[in-house]
Structure 1
């Protein structure tokens, strides 16, 4: 028996890129830090919220490249003159990536009480009916 993959199914033409995208996302190495929520705020909008306590706006970067939203955090070293008797608050860098569907764009980002909110909006494409003329060979 032959295993059908998304890219090899006879009725799904041109979806090979989607299959590669799913594989790349599975291998992206996103760890559990920082924790995040994804919520649907309307029929065409979403919000990703990351818990980034201890990070300032200047410590964070948000980029979109090739339909991939990448959020990075890197805290500046506060100086080596500090002596910790116990260090239980994570002060590490992070890298979170999310794959965005075609037509989904970042509409803004805000920081509030140690939470980074990234708002996304999906454009609704117009329905197009295309008639194809049949030529004689």
Structure 2
């Protein structure tokens, strides 16, 4: 399956960095969180970090603008329904991640791989909450994501 649209659940430090990297790499990104203020802050951080890349001549202003246009903020996980790949980057609390994975299993198409950025929770335990255990993976990014 071709991956064209990526979902990122959690717009905090790791989530906004993951969204940044996918958008900068040419993917359409749906960045999902529970509060508009979290999304606003994430988009500001991404714009600032992309501007830093422009200042260091790593990308052009046009590339920065294109990357930002590829990110769609979302307050509802239903917006992830048309994503080809989804990365969860929420807080390191099992109950929060469990709720997200149960929801993603319902919202996303059956062939979609679900990834977790967790550093401490068992991927097997998260996968068992879904009907697609064979399509749940760990995908841990290091901070700061755009630099690493």
TM-score, normalised to structure 2, is 0.26
Name the one with the larger helix percent.
Answer: 2
Structure number with higher relative contact order (C-alpha < 8 Å, ≥ 6 residues apart): 2
TM-score, normalised to structure 1, is 0.27
